[in-house]
A and B are shown apart, each in its own frame.
Chain A
Amino acid sequence: MCLLCVIIAVIPLLSILYEVVSRGAPFLSFQFLTNDALHGGIGPSIQGTLILIGLTSLIGVPVGILSGVYLAEFGDNKYASFVRAINDVLTEFPSIVVGITTYSVVVIGIIGSFSPIAGAIALSIMLIPIVARTTDESLKLVPNSVREASLALGIHKWKTTLRIVVPAAKSGIVTGTLLAIARIAGETAPILLTILGSNYFFQGFRSPMDALPLRVFRDARWDDPRVQAEAWGVALILILIVLSLNIAVRLAARGRHKR
């Protein structure tokens, strides 16, 4: 009977993968992947998603990892447990609320227009707590004897942390971070209110930009069935990026554990 539950849960997954691949594959062509939206392509969306992944990693990963280092290495106090609690809350923040906040502060307040930077900040807000938690947990798995050995050699705590402890936990941190990036790369709600969407390639940091999830969302809600069908082609590219990142990271992580 419990096996039945597993089967019921896996049916949607298989159906989604099947539909995306079978309906999306016919769209794949060089033009589809490289032209802008006015010439029947999704080039701007692919470019936008890659830019967002890059910018978000640039902002979110260092902040997340340093937060995690603090929590794991100096986190034996009330301030740290408070930060940990806040991080837990942020992990479950409704994504559309992140969108509203970033819209009000960055799009309206700081930059004055829709912007790839606003999108990256919104996604960073979702990325930071996940990366901080993974880093925190990975560092805690490093045995204390490693730290003690290094300190006993007279190496400073900060050097011990950065050169000995963090490298020892590297695989866990990298795996968790890449999984988090794969997850936020598919997010739609936070970027809907911050980069708006566009038919054109990247036009600077003060203009709207497109991204794959936004394109799927727009196409799917179009009244024209031909445009709706095209959404499957976009979805295929999106799912290829997200799932291949996800699967590759997991396989790599498992390979390392076995050795």
Chain B
Amino acid sequence: MRLKSLKKKLTGDNTFRVLTAIVAASAIVILVVAAYVLSTGAVPVVQRFGLYFFTGTSWNPVEGRELYGALPYVLGTLATSGIALLIGVPLSLGIAIFLVEMAPQKVRVPISYLVELLAAVPSVIYGLWGLLVFRLWLQKYIEIPVYNYLGWIPIFATEGGGTPVGLDLLNGGIILAIMIIPTVASVSKEVISAVPDSIREGAYSIGATKWEVVRYWVLSYGRSGIFGAVILGLGRAVGETIAVTMVIGNAIGPNAMPTSLFQPAQTMASLIANGFLEAPTPLDTSAYIGVGLTLLLVSLLINIIAHIMVARILKIKGGAVE
């Protein structure tokens, strides 16, 4: 009896099934290994500095006087991502609405193709462009005029009152905004096309204009999915490394606190990209790994929220279509 069932288990089909299941487990292995490596690597620094690691602002690798506080970089990540959302989300929504509700059939494909092409450009090339081209525009047409008139407002202040240089929080935020547009626009597009036509027809039938239909019916019907799209964009912005590293100015220590748009700052990812390989001591390496762990946790949290929101709206779509 037992032999018979064993024979049954060893058929080609079961072997194939088990084999692919094992390969599929690689994703779990990767995640577990990453979580393990990061948490064990971060132990020394968290043990030594405790809560200071999350609330402190100094970053001093000099032996004997080590001090590691990651707060400026956590805030730097939140600030650049916040700027990216403020600029990127309205643009992305505009693009999505244009593509679904307004664009003539003929231009839809080319335009969504162009927007997707934005996602294909490697991030190091965004960085290069931000560093050598966009920086000069930003400095000349936005930062210097704004600084001359509004420099007394703290968020437009510069270090020591000098002229803004263009490699700062604002540049980092804008580059990120451009980079998240393809993500946010394409998911919003899906969400908006998932809104049933009956909603639009109902709104038109009571005399709403096109703009009112979009603003009050379509967007509010799809709001949870659009929120998901925004969070997905936030996840992209939080994890983006190289482009930001090239344009943010790479401040360190208390100077890196993101207090002004026109001052150099630092994100968690850019801090690691700049310093990880040059870390002079094991404790220093551990500090960078601790920042990496914090970054991972923040981005995991963001992505879990996003997937729940997007899954909810797509379920609604499935129900409505079938």
Contact = CB atoms under 8 A, between A and B. Distances in A.
B91 A92 contact: no
Given A69-B20, A96-B292, A193 B276 contact: yes
A152 interface: no
Interface of B: 11-13, 15-17, 19-21, 23-28, 30-31, 33-34, 37-38, 41, 90-95, 97-98, 102, 111, 113-115, 117-129, 131-134, 178, 181, 185, 232, 235-236, 238-242, 246, 269, 272-273, 276-277, 288-289, 292, 295-296, 299-300, 303-304, 307
A90 B91 CA distance: 27
B125 A9 contact: no
A5 B189 CA distance: 14
A97 B129 contact: no
A228 B132 contact: yes
Interface string A87-110: 111101111111111011100000
Of B11, B122, B272, most buried by chain A (CB within 10 Å of CB) is B122
Contacts of A182: 120
Count class of interface residues, chain A: 35 or more
Contacts of A232: 128, 132
Given A2-B97, A183-B120, A243-B117, A161 B127 contact: no
Looking at chain B's contact residues, the main secondary structure is helix
Given A97-B296, A161-B16, A125 B30 contact: yes
A28 to B, nearest CB: 17
Interface in A14-29: 15-16, 19-20
A210 to B, nearest CB: 13
Contact of A95 (B98, B133, B239): B239
B275 to A, nearest CB: 11
A4 B94 contact: yes
B239 A92 contact: yes
Nearest to A245: B120
A24 B202 CA distance: 54
A97 B276 contact: no
B118 A9 contact: yes
A92 B235 contact: yes
A99 B242 CA distance: 12
A104 to B, nearest CB: 5
Contacts, number: 239
B249 to A, nearest CB: 12
Interface in A162-181: none
Contacts of B241: 94-96, 188-189
A74 B242 contact: no
B27 A87 contact: yes
A181 to B, nearest CB: 12
B272 A100 contact: yes
A132 interface: yes
A120 interface: no
Contacts of B129: 12, 15-16, 19-20
A231 B20 contact: no
Contacts of B124: 186, 188, 213, 216-217, 220, 235, 238
Nearest to A185: B122
Given A83-B24, A86-B27, A132-B24, A93 B128 contact: no
A246 interface: yes
A30 interface: no
B213 to A, nearest CB: 13
A9 B115 contact: yes
A64 B296 CA distance: 22
Of B115, B133, B246, most buried by chain A (CB within 10 Å of CB) is B133
A97 B34 contact: yes
Contact of B178 (A1, A12, A157, A216): A12
Contact of A246 (B33, B34, B98, B117): B117
Nearest to B243: A188
B276 A6 contact: no
B219 to A, nearest CB: 12
Of B125, B246, B300, most buried by chain A (CB within 10 Å of CB) is B125
A93 B296 CA distance: 7
